[in-house]
Amino acid sequence: MLKKIALVALPDMAPFEFGVICEVFGIDRADTGGPEFDFRVVTADPGPVRTKLGFDIVVNDDLSSAADADLIAIPAYSVSGGKPDPRISQLLRDAVDRGAWVLSVCSGAFALAEAGILDGRRSTTHWMYTDQLAREYPLTDVDPDVLFVEDRGVITGAGTAAGIDACLHLVRKELGAAAANVIARRMVVPPQRDGGQAQFIQAPVPERQSDSFAGVTEWMLANLADDLTVDVLAAKALMSERTFARRFRAEMGATPAAWLNRQRLIRAQHLLERTDYGLEQIASESGFGSSAVMRHHFLKVLHTTPNAYRRTFSCTDSDEEMLAELQGGGRQEEFTSA
């Protein structure tokens, strides 16, 4: 069970990537149905840790506090500043040996490679560093074209935003879609990015860029099962069809049809995870019309079928109990949530 998280603070680490891990795992979201983790920040030598931007973060816990963590997370850091402390490398090897998760964001993959745990595994990092990672650590198979890679308990994320994708993927895999989506919605992250990724990341409802379409998008979400053509939506927005289509794409980052298909897919995912409805009923309630159309969109976006998705992510009573247990225990670090 993913419960205790240890984030390792390294000299010259990037504050934003450090903050991404804090934001996903360090905030108690039990009040909105999310998980609560036992979250620790640790370092090799407790005290001030200098960041890449020149300010210090004071860390009180040493690496012993991470000895039994379910996840060891490594943020981005300056790879030109030297190799990580050998004690951190040992911590990572020990984590893999006992079956714990290890996750890196951006250039944090170099710390994993230095520890030897990427040997024989696929990995990724920021596109600026993929050639260097492959050159310096030839025993890892570096994939420069993905947002993140999971290989036998080790997750490496690409650039900054991909660190969020990687973290949400792990939450989803361990705790289910409901827990991951609570975190995503609270973080106000953008829609799932296209790029041929087959990883099962729950895509949150896209946050609007302005208030222009607030009423329309809320109405669309409430009426996904209806035939929501552009002329219907334009009339609802009191615009011409051409103006509506142009402004919607500019402000929402997708065409009305693409936005609707994504929301319908999310609705279908939720129904597959949380109900025992048949595929035809789910297709009808999510707005796909038929199970064949729904299957087409699942294969296109998630690279799986609705039946296979249900087998993987259906929430059982034990899943609900696990989430309730997570909400009831653990230690909360005080970070300000968005």
Residue 51 and residue 190 in one domain: yes
Residue 130 and residue 240 in one domain: no
Residue 185 and residue 39 in one domain: yes
Q: What is the CATH number of the domain that holds 253?
A: 1.10.10.60
Residue 199 inside a domain? The answer is: no
Residue 228 and residue 309 in one domain: yes
Residue 35 and residue 174 in one domain: yes
Entry field: residues in the chain: 338
Residue 335 inside a domain? The answer is: no
**Residue 185: pLDDT band with limits 50, 70, 90:** confident
Residue 158 and residue 307 in one domain: no
Residue 237 and residue 148 in one domain: no
- Torsion angle, alpha carbons of 66, 67, 68, 71, to 10: 50
Residue 325 inside a domain? The answer is: no
State mean pLDDT over 51-77. Answer: 98
Residue 144 and residue 44 in one domain: yes
Residue 167 and residue 299 in one domain: no
pLDDT tens, residue by residue, 271-285: 998 899 999 999 999
Contacting residues for 39 by C-beta, under 8 A, at least 6 apart:
5, 7, 22, 25, 26, 330, 331, 332, 333
Tally of CB atoms within 10 A around 70: 18
Number of structural domains (the chain) is: 2
Residue 20 and residue 169 in one domain: yes
Of 215 and 171, the structure prediction assigns the larger pLDDT to: 171
Residue 108 and residue 239 in one domain: no
What confidence score (pLDDT) does residue 204 get? 46
Token digits of residue 282: 């789910």
Q: What is the CATH number of the domain that holds 113?
A: 3.40.50.880
Given a cut of 50, is residue 326 above it in pLDDT? no
Given a cut of 80, is residue 192 above it in pLDDT? no
Q: How far apart are CA 270 and CA 16, in angstroms?
A: 31
Q: What is the pTM of this model?
A: 0.62
